[in-house]
Amino acid sequence: MNKGKSQNVFPLIVESIFGHFSSFMSGGELKDLKGKMEGFKTCKVSYVMTLFWIAIAWQVSSVDMVGLVLTVSSLFSNFISMLSLPLVPIASTVIYYERMNGVKIVSVLMATWGFVSHLYQQYLDDVNNKSDETIESDFIFQASDECK
């Protein structure tokens, strides 16, 4: 990554960390934290570690999406984020041993449907662009033959 793009990403990291910290402190979450920790099934350390790694995962995800927009394209960034949507509920059932209920099944099916629809639309656009290029090149060849 070149210097200009890295200069754009660093303020994003600092701003997002400051934003999460300030919203946590000012939003009243600190007052409810003890009650939520007590309500957590395993232990307080497990709850704090879960919050910590969720925050880290969101930071990595948001910075990666911005990095993909800056280095590749916004379409590819959208493609990668859509790919992750059906994987999150499946990962939560595997990692946290949660039950796969009807809501999760429907969300996985809808996310997969959206991802496949996105792929199919890209395929159709690609086919239409190729056919348009073929028609244009045939027209150019016909026009050049008439000029001779």
d(CA 54, CA 123): 35
Into how many domains does the chain fold?
A: 2
Mean pLDDT of 65-94: 80
Q: Is the pLDDT of residue 148 over 70?
A: no
Identify whether the C-beta of residue 75 lies closer than 8 Å to the C-beta of residue 10: no
Comparing 41 with 4, the larger pLDDT belongs to: 41
Q: Same structural domain for residues 7 and 67?
A: yes
Please check whether residues 49 and 89 belong to one and the same domain. no
With respect to residue 79, please indicate whether it lies within any of the assigned structural domains.
no
Res. 144: pLDDT tops 70? no
Residues in the chain: 148
Among 73, 100, 117, the domain-final residue is 73
Both tokens of 16, joined, read 């997002």
For residue 117, the enclosing domain spans 85-148
Output the 3-class SS for the chain. Answer: CCHHHHHHHHHHHHHHHHHHHHHHHHCCHHHHHHHHHHHCCCCHHHHHHHHHHHHHHHHHHHHHHHHHHHHCCHHHHHHHHHHHCCHHHHHHHHHCCCCCCHHHHHHHHHHHHHHHHHHHHHHHHHHHHHHHHHHHHHHHHHHHHHHC
pLDDT tens sequence across 25-74: 666 666 777 777 777 777 777 777 877 888 788 778 877 887 788 788 77
Tokens of 70: 């800056």
Among the candidates 11, 46, 73, a domain finishes at 73
From 27, 43, 73, the end of a domain falls on: 73
For 114-127, write each residue's pLDDT tens digit: 888 888 988 898 88
| 80: in domain | no
Per-residue confidence band for 146, with pLDDT thresholds at 50, 70 and 90: low
| Same domain assignment for residues 59 and 97 | no
pLDDT at 56: 82
Within this chain, do residues 67 and 8 fall inside the same structural domain, yes or no? yes
Assess whether 47 and 92 both reside in one domain. Answer: no
- Same domain assignment for residues 26 and 68: yes
CA distances from 7 to 17, 61, 67, 68 (A): 16, 18, 11, 15
pLDDT at 81: 78
pTM tops 0.75, yes or no: no
